[in-house]
Amino acid sequence: MSGTELTAVARAMVAPGKGILAADESSPTIKKRFDMISAESTEENRRSYREMLFTAPGASKHISGVILFDETLRQSTSDGTPFPEYLANRGVIPGIKVDKGAKALAGFPGETVTEGLDGLRERLAEYRELGARFAKWRAVIDIGTGIPTDFCILANAHALARYAALCQEAGIVPIVEPEVLMDGAHDIERCGEVTSRTLDRTFAQLEAHRVALDGIVLKPNMVIPGMKCARQASAEEVAEATVSCLTANVPAQVPGIAFLSGGQSDTDATAHLNAMNKLGPHPWELSFSYGRALQAAALSAWSGRAENFAAGQSAFSLRAKLNGLARTGAYDQSMESAAA
Ligand code: 13P
């Protein structure tokens, strides 16, 4: 793929009115989600749950791409169409999670570095054959006493940049995801300071590794108080703090920024995105790449039962639609009850 093609895919991933579904939970993570609804995490249940999401009527109007896990990329719809082919036929771009998870960073208690670079070139070539046109790598930065260290941020930024360079070499658009966690009691200012430092080091490494910034999608956290912080913030405060952090750190060549939801409620994640787009225009598209905030309602409506397939689909389609509206600031909280 040429640089122009990479840019075209990156732009399509953040096309106006649309966003990305993160459905790339690893086997241990999807088991945790299924445990919450007392469903067994069998290969068939995982396949059937993902089929429910991918085939939801109307959802593809608001979903530009789906991030898949290795197992899902190789699975098919119940009538035998491989998932990547099914999605591509509907104009939804298939993507793949390629990192191997955040592992303890030796010598730095409480901090992690994301692994998965060994053999990545070969894995990317296979994933492209299987239909993936973009990839995801998640770095995790935790806030606590004395952390994050500059070294942890640098180690993660370096790995993200090596991954991104390998993706572009393989003709795959890298989603660059440095996630500053919202666990903990820190305030919004501290989240802003750590996010700013993380993005600054990440872009320095991307440039040092000669990554074409017009052929990536950035997937950051929003600037938000920790879940245990006594002073929570309004949607407008989150929007202003996040946009000002991004403006200071994200070059205008980046076509789009697709936020993770990170443990926010689904309605908060939509309201925050909406408030940010109301502050526009911005140099980049401001979009979503939510996992939990797109799936929570669908997962509980489905509850692992075949007879709830349609109910799960309408719960998912509703969140996709409302987040699609938040892409232009056209969402309003009253739409939640009107739709219920
Ligand atoms: P959440 O939106 O649930 O944070 O998931 C997004 C994601 O892909 C995390 O890597």
Ligand 1 centre distance from Cα of residue 292 (Å) = 6
Per residue in 272-327, pLDDT (tens digit) is 999 999 999 999 999 999 999 999 999 999 999 999 999 999 999 999 999 999 99
Ligand 1 centre distance from Cα of residue 21 (Å) = 9
For residues 289 and 243, what is the distance between their CA atoms, to the nearest angstrom? 17
**290, 299, 323, best to mutate for ligand 1 pocket (most atoms within 8 Å of CB):** 290
Ligand 1 centre distance from Cα of residue 180 (Å) = 12
Counting from 1 in the atom list of ligand 1, the atom nearest the Cα of 260 is 2
Amino acid at 11: R
Measure the N-to-C terminal CA separation of the chain; round to a whole number of Å.
44
For residues 224 and 180, what is the distance between their CA atoms, to the nearest angstrom? 10
Res 265 pLDDT > 80 = yes
Counting from 1 in the atom list of ligand 1, the atom nearest the Cα of 293 is 2
Ligand 1 centre distance from Cα of residue 288 (Å) = 10
Res 337 pLDDT > 90 = no
The conformation of residue 76, written as its DSSP 8-state character, comes to B
- Atom 4 of ligand 1: nearest residue by CA position: 262
Segment 152-162 mean pLDDT: 99
Percent of the chain past pLDDT 90, that is, above it, reads 98
- Atom 5 of ligand 1: nearest residue by CA position: 291
| Contact (CB, 8 A) for 244 and 206 | no
**292, 316, 319, best to mutate for ligand 1 pocket (most atoms within 8 Å of CB):** 292
Counting from 1 in the atom list of ligand 1, the atom nearest the Cα of 261 is 2
Which domains, and CATH codes, for the chain? 3-339 (3.20.20.70)
pLDDT of residue 218: 99
Per residue in 226-257, pLDDT (tens digit) is 999 999 999 999 999 999 999 999 999 999 99
Res 340 pLDDT > 70 = no
- Atom 8 of ligand 1: nearest residue by CA position: 22
If one counts every other C-beta atom within 10 angstroms of the C-beta of residue 218, the result is 27
Looking at every residue in the chain, the average pLDDT score rounds to 97
Segment 18-45 mean pLDDT: 98
Per residue in 166-185, pLDDT (tens digit) is 999 999 999 999 999 999 99
Counting from 1 in the atom list of ligand 1, the atom nearest the Cα of 262 is 4
Kindly report the length of the chain.
340
Res 32 pLDDT > 70 = yes
Res 163 pLDDT > 80 = yes
Counting from 1 in the atom list of ligand 1, the atom nearest the Cα of 22 is 8
Per residue in 3-15, pLDDT (tens digit) is 899 999 999 999 9
Give, in order, the Cα–Cα distances in Å from 195 to each of 132, 189, 313: 29, 10, 34
Annotated catalytic sites, by residue?
177, 219
Q: For residue 210, is it left (φ>0), alpha (ψ between -120 and 50) or beta? A: left
Secondary structure, 3-state, 140-198: EECCECCECCHHHHHHHHHHHHHHHHHHHHCCCEEEEEEEECCCCCCCHHHHHHHHHHH
- Atom 9 of ligand 1: nearest residue by CA position: 260
Pocket of ligand 1 (CB under 6 A): 22, 138, 177, 260-262, 290-293
Ligand 1 centre distance from Cα of residue 138 (Å) = 9
Per residue in 44-69, pLDDT (tens digit) is 999 999 999 999 999 999 999 999 99
pTM: 0.98
Res 19 pLDDT > 70 = yes
* Strand positions, DSSP E, the chain: 19-23, 63-68, 93-97, 102-104, 112-114, 134-141, 173-180, 217-218, 256-259, 285-290
Counting from 1 in the atom list of ligand 1, the atom nearest the Cα of 290 is 2
Give, in order, the Cα–Cα distances in Å from 172 to each of 2, 46, 93, 208: 10, 26, 11, 19
For residues 328 and 287, what is the distance between their CA atoms, to the nearest angstrom? 9
Res 338 pLDDT > 70 = no
- Atom 10 of ligand 1: nearest residue by CA position: 138
Ligand 1 centre distance from Cα of residue 194 (Å) = 19
Ligand 1 centre distance from Cα of residue 264 (Å) = 10
Give, in order, the Cα–Cα distances in Å from 285 to each of 69, 97, 310: 25, 22, 32
| pLDDT bracket for residue 339 (50, 70, 90) | low
Orientation of helix 235-249 relative to helix 188-208, angle to 10°: 30
